[in-house]
Amino acid sequence: MSNDTTGTARPAAASGSFRIGGDLPVTRLGYGAMQLTGQGVWGEPRDRAEAVRVLRRAVELGVDFIDTADSYGPFVSEQIIREALHPYADGLVIATKGGFTRSGPGVWEPVGRPEYLRQQVELSLRHLGLERIDLYQLHRIDPQVPLADQLGALAELREAGKIRHIGLSEVTVAQIEEARTVTEIASVQNLYNLVERKSEDVLEYAEREGLAFIPWFPIATGELARPGGPLDAAAREHGATPAQLALAWLLRRSPAVLPIPGTSSVAHVEENIAAAGIELTDAEYEALTDAV
């Protein structure tokens, strides 16, 4: 079976690598830590011990890029990452985000005031047990605050050695270009998957400009996974699941793509990482690309 995880001790490596900001190498298939919290991305997970096992297993299987945010919990996800993985192995990159406040489950309010972002960076450093955050992403642009002020605060923290690279999330090409007039941008994280490609132009821009493109919610399959559909047929051909094929498609789509599938289950993290070893034929890739 082409999705077997036993052929190598670190199957994630089969996804290849990317240098964030030109100098920060990561294995392309990473792990998104939003699901390490309670319902509505709020509070403690149902099984904290399993959340710890998920993170440790992901790293065992070769994942060295973990994406989280201060708003996941809030702070619960960052704290579980520290519990599971600190002291961090050399080369393990923890990316986090700031710019959302939370007042309850499922509630997200953008706040980009410079003093708030400075506070959140300090809290993330403390919760993660880091002296510097390798990739800090503005979780959302706050429309009430000039973008230059939001990014200016992060640029100052980078100059102070507390951030290595700055990224953006849920932005347009025009917003990335505006941001790059303020400071260097290393990555962009937008909703993108096999069935949702509204950010195609952002992906193309990122690839052209050497930015990492981090698609969140990467394994949506929708109608393509219906019995007899193109994803179902290809999955059967590979002895794989539709979700694995959706990840394989993303990895094939562009060398700038860093998928971060998330899960709260060890079995699912093993399944997701096995997708790194699936190679789509040209015909399979084109059929899936054209199916939406």
Instruction: Work out the angle at residue 213's Cα, subtended by the Cα atoms of residues 207 and 218, and round it to the nearest 5 degrees.
Output: 130
pLDDT tens-digit profile of 208-229?
999 999 999 999 888 888 898 8
Confidence of residue 26 (pLDDT cuts 50, 70, 90): very high
pLDDT of the residue at 224: 86
* Alpha-carbon span 226 to 124, nearest angstrom: 41
* Alpha-carbon span 198 to 196, nearest angstrom: 6
For the whole model, what pTM was predicted?
0.95
SS3 97: strand
Q: SS3 for 193-256, per residue?
A: CCCCCCCHHHHHHHHHHCCEEEEECCCCCHHHHCCCCHHHHHHHHHCCCHHHHHHHHHHHHCCC
Q: Annotated active-site positions, please?
A: 72
pLDDT tens-digit profile of 236-270?
999 999 999 999 999 999 999 999 999 999 999 99
Share of the chain above pLDDT 70, in %: 97
* Residue tagged 């904290």 (tokens): 48
